[in-house]
Amino acid sequence: MIAGLPLCTCDLTGNECDVNCCCDKDCDDDDRKAFSLCIDEQTISDSQMCVKESLVFFDNTPYAKSSRGSWLCIHIDNFQERNFFKVPQTVVKEADFDKFRATYGGYSYNYEESTPQFHGDFYRSGDPILTVYRGEVQGVLGLPAPLGTSKCADNNPAAFLYNQEFECEREVNLKTGCTSNPFIDANLYFRGFKLIISPAVLTNYTVSNTTQSTTTSGPVTTASSATTGAPVTTTVAAPATPLSLYNSSSVIEVDLFSVTCFDENSLEVNCNVTNGTMSPKPQYDAFGKGSARCRSVVTEVEYFIKHGGKSGLEKAYVKVTLTDFPDEIQSVTQKFKITYLQSGDKDIFKRSGRPGYVVGQPVMAGRLKKNTTVPGQVIALPKDRSKWLTVVSNSINGDCVSSPEHRVSVTFGDEMRAGCKVRVSLQNLTNHCAFIQDAVLGALRGNNPPTHVATFGDSSITVVGDWVTIQGLYNQPAKAQKAQDGVCRNLVVGMRTQIVYADIGSLQQPQAKILGVLVTYQTDMVKFQCVGRYCQPGNTDTQNIEVVSTVSFIDVSTAPTASSGKRPTLPLRLPSDFFYPFT
């Protein structure tokens, strides 16, 4: 508060004492004694400035001054008006308001008209891909992605020429929305719309055309004329007939290339696709094995768009993956991917580096085999980059799966930890320890695991010397053995992959090179937990064994050390009589 002004700014409640407001007239002495502090303490400004008299050598000020012991004080604030706001003029008419707004106006929330969007003559990198729907409504091709959270945001447009891949969570109640939720139906992502081959189509497209029609009216009799006139022929312009962009040759359909289906255990099953242009729709099966489930839920959508650069889009097709889920699932993980292909019959190979590995790119890995065309050996490298070097993954219910479609790709520089579970019963851990170990090793390694890893991101499959052997991959761990009923000793429960790499080349442009790969296995004694009914005779209940696979990258780069030559020695030779006559 400013001194001299009887303000009580904390008195906000009429006819009631405000807590800790000591200036509130509604508070009596007993109320104030219960306060822990006074929030209305006045801040009194001192109009004086004081200094030690010993520091003042000469004082001839004409202003009032006072002395506080050894302090000399002078009044520096003798203009009280500067401590108060000026009293503003009250707005009584609109002109006064406009004056204030023009002088002190800030941000405005007035509606701004949107400017019309002008399309270029052709697609450029990063441009959204234009679409048109059956009702002639125009839009852009979407590629759902996690924006801010893991949830799928459907307003993310696909960017031209940029290969993109996103994974997000789709919240859905499968009990009530299995057949009604459009976002889990694969047909939503390729049916009902077409792609516009070039933005120039919209610029040059004629919205309507005008035609002429001839109409003939019969004889007309008027009140002022008893005669009947001759028939009148009139030519008028017929209403404009809009052209259909959706049915024109300026658009292309997104063709369904393939459909892959998995059951609730992540096992591939027959999709029963009867129509090559339509994907199976989600169906609710209330009488399935075990519990009810929602079938044919879309989990992966992959677009392939063939283009001719400046000439625009030429062809588009899509691959979809469908999975069955138990109806108690509350969210579904969906993957969306788009790949652009140049026109022509080129065998495109996407490298993981040029030459050194790029962080985030898949580690190239394949199997060594005999070359069938020329003498020697060659590396068999899968065309699908996601199937090069992989680690174990899990099914919907967490079980280990070994199929290549459900393994996780190892990308350079990204350390990973993946896990799954193996279900075992008391009888399994008693009589089938070796069988369980073989199943675990199969899940950890995968089907036909790679034996060699490329040292560079662009290593040739015909130059075997540019590939290093994966050490320890087939080193057979100690055989799992029965220790006692329900106990397996030396059972493999984990696989650790260590990748050693180093930067080579210049410091300004280092290139990452893989020097070696080592695989080791972790074993443990696994015991069936006999709790409650689990170990009762004849009980077939199962327990879970966690299986873990890890990948780590070890950087062994050695930075160069500065070195300098030896300091030269200067031969100093003086004349023999240099110190004469002192010698």
pLDDT at 168: 92
SS3 98: helix
Query: Under a CB-based contact definition with an 8 Å cutoff, are residues 72 and 57 in contact?
Result: no
Q: Which of 361, 353, 420 is nearest to 391 (CA)?
A: 420
- Give the whole-angstrom CA distance, residue 45 versus residue 286: 79
Residue 410 CB neighbour total at 10 angstroms: 23
Q: What is the per-residue pLDDT for 401?
A: 74
DSSP 396: T
State CA 178 to chain mean position distance.
Answer: 26
**What is each CA distance from 195 to 245, 359, 551, in whole angstroms?**
11, 34, 41
pLDDT of 452: 93
**Rounded-to-integer distance, Cα 449 and Cα 441, Å:** 11
Residues 296 and 281: beta-carbon distance below 8 Å: yes
Assigned token pair, 43: 């801040």
C-alpha–C-alpha distance, residues 170 and 146, integer Å: 10
Compute the C-alpha angle 377/381/386, nearest 5°.
160
Say if residues 311 and 143 touch (Cβ distance below 8 Å). no
Give the whole-angstrom CA distance, residue 98 versus residue 94.
Answer: 6
Structure tokens at 568: 């030269």
Q: What is the pLDDT, as a whole number, of residue 559?
A: 79
Tell me the three state secondary structure of residue 524. strand
Domain ranges in the chain are 130-203+247-342, 365-555
**Would you give per-residue pLDDT tens digits along the chain (583 residues)?**
444 556 788 888 888 898 999 888 999 998 888 888 888 766 556 666 676 655 555 555 555 555 556 666 766 666 667 677 777 888 888 888 888 878 877 666 666 666 556 567 889 888 999 999 988 888 999 999 998 889 999 989 999 989 999 999 999 988 888 989 999 999 999 999 999 999 888 875 544 443 344 333 344 333 333 444 444 444 444 444 457 888 888 999 999 988 888 888 777 788 877 666 788 889 888 875 567 889 899 999 999 999 988 888 999 999 999 999 888 888 899 999 999 888 775 667 788 888 889 898 999 999 988 776 767 888 888 888 888 999 888 877 777 776 667 788 999 999 999 888 888 777 766 667 888 888 888 888 888 889 999 999 888 888 888 999 999 888 877 776 665 667 788 888 889 999 999 998 888 888 999 999 999 998 888 877 766 555 565 566 777 888 889 999 999 988 777 777 788 877 777 777 777 777 6
pLDDT at 44: 59
Distance CA 292, CA 284 (A): 8
* Structural tokens at position 510: 């280092």
Using alpha carbons, list the distances in angstroms from residue 267 to 291, 403, 467, 560: 17, 8, 33, 52
Which pLDDT value is given to residue 95?
Answer: 85
Closest by Cα among 163, 144, 158, 125 to 341: 163
Beta strands 283-285 and 313-326, pairing class: unpaired
Distance (Å) of CA 330 to CA 92, 204, 325: 60, 47, 10
Contact 450, 388 (CB under 8 A): yes
Residue pair 483/475 in contact by the 8 Å Cβ criterion: no
Region of 472 on the Ramachandran plot (φ > 0 left; ψ -120 to 50 alpha; else beta): left
The pLDDT, as a whole number, for residue 159 is 92
Tell me how far the alpha carbon of residue 293 is from its chain's centroid: 29
For residues 9, 11, 13 and 18, what is the CA-based torsion angle, rounded to 10 degrees?
130
Helix (H, G, I), strand (E, B) or coil at 449: coil
DSSP secondary structure letters along 195-254: EES-THHHHH---EE--EEEEEE-----SS--SPPPPEEEEEEPPPEE--STTSTTEE-E
Residue with token string 């369980």 = 436
Give me the pLDDT at residue 157, please: 93
Question: 496 with 471: CB under 8 angstroms?
Answer: no
Q: HSE of 124 in the Cβ direction (CA atoms, 13 Å)?
A: 3
Q: Is the torsion defined by CA of 353, 356, 361, 367 positive or negative?
A: positive
How crowded is residue 361: how many other Cβ atoms within 10 Å of its Cβ? 18
Which residue, among 292, 300, 342, 299, has the nearest Cα to 319 in the 3D structure?
300
